[in-house]
């Protein structure tokens, strides 16, 4: 195993399997593990460990306070905040997890946000996704477009549901093709089933049942 120790700010192309920088690591590429308070590489094939970790693309893992990738992550991120500009093929674990395009995998954290589609699951206090092709588990779950799967939480909301909503309050703006189970269930139009204390279908002939 190659090992490199630098005191200061190190740049250039990194080829060491294990690199320790005491102030900052700003190499163009790392193959292996880089450890520094601040890591910034264009490409990472391995791991970044630090307070702040940034890269354009990573195949591996990031461990830190703030982790970000401008493009995609193939692996996982573990930190207080994790941000990805494009896609994640793997998992995010953190206080706040944000993916600006799609995730094929899972998010576990306090607040989980996927702007476009999620193929997998979100588990947290607040979960927000564009389209959800999987499951959301949390206190509040929101699908900004369609959920094709399940929402399980205290409050669940979606524009359209083609799956199941299970919670105290369930709301679907348009149609539900599936089921709602809770204390209060509200749907624009119910083409499925509503089970709960108060069930409301808003469009067409207003339907209210209990």
Residue 7: per-residue pLDDT: 41
Q: Where are the alpha helices (DSSP H) in 44-110?
A: none
Q: With 0.75 as the threshold, say if the pTM is over it.
A: yes
Low pLDDT (below 70) residues in the chain: 1-26, 204-210
List C-alpha distances in Å: 21 to 11, 17, 33, 54: 10, 13, 11, 15
At 23, list the tokens: 């102030």
List C-alpha distances in Å: 123 to 60, 82, 148: 22, 15, 16
At 168, list the tokens: 């105290």
């Amino acid at each position: 195993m190659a090992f490199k120790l630098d005191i200061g700010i190190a740049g250039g192309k990194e080829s060491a399997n294990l690199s320790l920088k005491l102030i900052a690591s700003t190499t163009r590429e790392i193959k292996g593990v880089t450890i520094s308070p601040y890591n910034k590489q264009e490409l990472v094939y391995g791991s970044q460990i630090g307070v702040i970790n940034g890269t354009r693309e990573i195949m591996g893992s990031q461990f830190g306070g703030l982790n970000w990738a401008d493009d995609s992550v193939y692996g996982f991120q573990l930190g207080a905040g994790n941000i990805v500009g494009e896609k994640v093929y793997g998992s995010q674990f953190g206080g706040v997890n944000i993916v600006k395009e799609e995730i094929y995998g899972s998010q576990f954290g306090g607040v989980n946000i996927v702007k476009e589609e999620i193929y997998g699951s979100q588990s947290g206090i607040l979960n927000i996704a564009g389209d959800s092709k999987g499951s959301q588990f949390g206190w509040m779950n929101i699908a900004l477009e369609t959920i094709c799967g399940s929402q399980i939480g205290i409050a669940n909301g979606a524009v359209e549901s083609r799956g199941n909503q299970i919670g105290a309050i369930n709301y679907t703006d348009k149609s539900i093709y599936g089921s709602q189970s809770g204390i209060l269930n509200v749907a624009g139009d119910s083409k499925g089933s509503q089970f709960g204390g108060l069930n409301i279908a808003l469009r067409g002939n207003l339907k209210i049942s209990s």
